[in-house]
Structure 1
Amino acid sequence: MDPEVFRNEYWERRPLRIPRNDPRHFAELLTLSDVDALLSRSGPDFSNIRVVSEGQETPVSALGGTDRLEMLYERYRSGSTIVLNALERRWDPLTRLTTRLSAEVGARFQVNAYLTPGGRARGFDPHYDNHDVIILQAHGTKSWRLYGMPDALPLRSQRYGAARPVPEAEEEFDLEPGSVLYLPRGTVHAATSTDTASLHLTLGVHPVLFPALLGEAVQDLAEEDEALRRGLPIGFASDEGRRREAERMIEGLLEAVRTRLTPRELTDRAVRRAVSIAPPVLRGHLTDLERMPGLDGDTPVRLRPDLRWRVSLTHEHVELAFHNKTVRLPRHVADEVRFVLESGHDPFTAASITGDLDRPGRLLLVHTLVREGLLTVG
């Protein structure tokens, strides 16, 4: 699937299924043996694990008893689905995957794993998610039903209530190992296992949405402008004259917001937000900090892989935004900073940096960027 075709024809529009039957395809991400190890290490509270059966969901921490791992497996043996939440935070292959996807898409990614026993077991009732999902079938086969999109692109506040009637299924298919399924948010779906256990990964996609972007921007303007913090006229709810006064007041405020929140400003704000939601990439940072006293002009360093960054120039500073912070450097080092950022993943040394800084200045720059976590040693 060409990425441009996906973006233009499927993203936020309609489901996409890419069928494969290759159990090796996602083996580097998560296997059944990996899940076994994760479950064994999740005690004693099992706070990131749930069990689900026929639409009923229970955190493992609420099961009671003294041996929760055994109770978890008892539920699984009885037909419950085991859900491992937020694996991108504690499983390196999925951390790397979501970091790269976040950088490419400009959205936050979360990964849950769903392990369902064989025997036509069902976890959730038909429902939709309030975020797009990408499903990777890692082990076994799962049968899916898609029921259309009754609410196109629902917000988090627009839930699919249990009392709503389930529409007729529009698609039914089996997802085999190595297959991919993309569902735009709002796609009603349900799935059951087949004769054997099924393990799939669900990548939840949380993009920058316009309502949140606009709301935050207006809130920031209100903190700067007293007029945007005023209440509506006293009595506007019951007096027609006061209501017309409220309309004029709102018209003026909307014009002020429209003038100050330009498309460029909102887009820049969205870029900052997209960069900020990327998780920090700091593997090996402790070792880097220990090695800093020995760094010299010939020590190889490089940009951290998969790092999201944004650079801008002010009258006095070069501002580097990454890891949800901004590092300000003197503007006269702009050429040297540009060299560092344009190095890609290729190693370089302080001595090889081009620009007007002398050798001690270039070494100080490298020390600063290693200390802040933009660069790593080696």
Structure 2
Amino acid sequence: MVVEGQETPMSELGGAYGRNRDVNRLEALYERYRSGSTVVLNSLERRWEPLRLLTSAMSAEVNARFQVNVYLTPPGQARGFNPHYDTHDVIILQAHGTKRWRLYGAPYALPLESQKYEHSRDVPEVEQEIDLRPGSLLYLPRGTIHAPTSTDTASLHLTIGIHPVLVPGVLQDAVRQVIDEDERFRTGLPIGFANDKELQRRTEETLAELVEVLAARLSPQEMTAKSLKRAISISQPELRGHLTDLENLPQLGPGTTVRRRPGLRWGMTLTEDLVELEFHNKTVQLPIHVADEVRYVTESGESGFTAASITGGLDQPGCLVLVQTLVREGFLTCG
């Protein structure tokens, strides 16, 4: 529940009802709603299939993670949040009623998650007022200050947050790897350097050397390759029916029909010794001699196949072990 920027989680509602707190939490929610609070349902794509399908398709197209929050605001100029900006791009989808959006521009370009909006700062002048009605869509770039209010009817809208792979994260991960691998980047500055001009000069020389080493060690190609792996698995894993697959794994035979999980984002990389299959934000490594069989499995898609139908040089028991492995890891599903 949110009103004028003050948030109250559901776990804290119902306190006035004594021992029946859990039972009467819904009544406590409605009491807040009747008094002007907005009901916020966070990450609804994790619990409602239509939104999961929507965000999965968008993620595959854009290579970003999507989160959907739903906001139900009562009528009568009610406002959940005070003017603020988000540290990610958002798409607003108006589903019911009308909501008035006041937009104040983006005085601070591309804020990061660590650069939250400071409510103590002066709010700039309103640049636009837009009324969203059912079916309306509004795109707000990261950093756009906004403040929506309801009108004479209740308002229900979806906020789709867009979380791409950001350059700062790519660079920070690469620098962290260098720091972990090279002890020179983990040393302290000379003791007493703040009191000694000569130590300060040597500190500058040492840091200059490390900057040169860092520039030489950072590889744009390697950073891009790692970003690609991250983009492939940026969405929430889809593991519907996986518990049943694991339970039935001992009965999986050469003639059992399996298929790649619907909507699965994956990538395959070949090294000198290994086949690396990336999905669900992990890497499954297989010996290089099964590359043809793995390629068959991945290219067969969601149409369905059996271990006995896999082509390549691997014998049937080996193909069965490959299928069992990929079912156990969640790449394949039965039926």
- The alignment's TM-score, normalised by the length of structure 2, stands at 0.92
Question: Given residue 198 of structure 2, which amino acid in structure 1 is its aligned partner?
Answer: G
| Residue 150 (structure 1) shift | 0.6
* SS of 1:237 mapped into structure 2: helix
1:361 equivalent in alignment to 2:318: yes
The alpha carbon displacement at 1:248 in A equals 1.5
Aligned residue among 141, 145, 158 for 1:188:
145
Distance change in 2, residues 1:108/1:237 (3 Å): farther
Cα distance in structure 2, aligned partners of 1:340 and 1:160: 48
Moved more, 175-184 or 307-316: 307-316
Once the two structures are TM-superposed, the CA of residue 77 in structure 1 deviates from its matched residue by: 1.2
Offset of residue 161 of structure 1: 1.5
Tell me the CA shift for residue 297 of structure 1.
2.9
- Following superposition, the deviation at residue 126 of structure 1 comes to 1.0
Which sections of structure 2, spanning at least 5 residues, go unmatched?
Answer: none
CA distance in 1, matches of 2:242, 2:334: 9
| Map of 1:106 onto structure 2 | 63
CA deviation map 1:302-337 (0-9, x unaligned):
110121222222332212122233222111000111
Distance 1:329 1:182 in 2: 43
Is 1:257 aligned with 2:214?
yes
SS of the aligned residue for 1:244 comes to helix
SS of match in other structure, 2:39: strand
**SS of match in other structure, 2:120:** coil
Could you tell me which residue of structure 2 aligns to residue 225 of structure 1? 182
User: Which residue matches 1:61?
Assistant: 11
Paired letter, 1:83? V
Paired positions, count? 328
Identical aligned pairs, as a percentage?
A: 66
1:258, distance to aligned residue in structure 2 (A): 1.2
Q: 1:374 aligns with which of 314, 331, 334?
A: 331
Q: Does 1:305 align with 2:305?
A: no
CA deviation string 1:117-165 (max 9, x = no partner): 1122111111101111111112222111111001011112222222222
Deviation of the 1:105 alpha carbon: 2.3
2:198 to 222, 241, 246: 241
**C-alpha deviation, 1:276, in angstroms:** 4.2
Mapped pair 1:52 → 2:52: no
Q: Contact (CA 8 Å) 2:258, 2:334: kept in 1 or not?
A: yes
Q: Which amino acid aligns with 1:294?
A: Q
- Specify every segment of 5 or more residues in structure 1 that has no aligned partner in the other structure, as ranges: 1-50
Matched, 1:73 2:23: no
Return the offset for 1:363. 2.0
RMSD: 1.8
Name 2:158's counterpart in structure 1.
201
Residue by residue over 1:229-261, the C-alpha shift from the partner in whole angstroms, topping out at 9 and shown as x without a partner, is 112233333333222212211111111111111
TM-superposed CA distance for 1:174, in Å, is: 1.1
After superposition, the Cα gap between the structure-2 partners of 1:238 and 1:276, relative to the gap in structure 1 and judged at 3 Å, is farther
Q: Which residue of 2 aligns with 1:270?
A: 227
User: How far, CA to CA, are the matches of 1:93 and 1:236 in structure 2?
Assistant: 60
1:46 maps to none
The answer to whether the Cα contact below 8 Å between 2:45 and 2:67 also exists between their aligned partners in 1 is yes
Q: Are the counterparts in 1 of residues 245 and 334 from structure 2 also a CA contact under 8 Å? A: yes
**CA distance in structure 2 between the partners assigned to 1:180 and 1:354 by the alignment:** 48
Measured against aligned partners, the alpha-carbon deviations of 1:51-96 in whole angstroms (never above 9, x if no partner) come to 1122322223223222221011011112111111122222222223
Whole-angstrom distance in 2 between the partners of 1:317 and 1:158: 41
- 1:179 correspondence with 2:129: no
Cα distance between partner residues in 2 of 1:369 and 1:183? 40
TM-score, length of structure 1 as denominator length:
0.82
The offset of 1:228, in angstroms, is: 1.2
Q: Distance in 1 between matches of 2:322 and 2:250?
A: 14
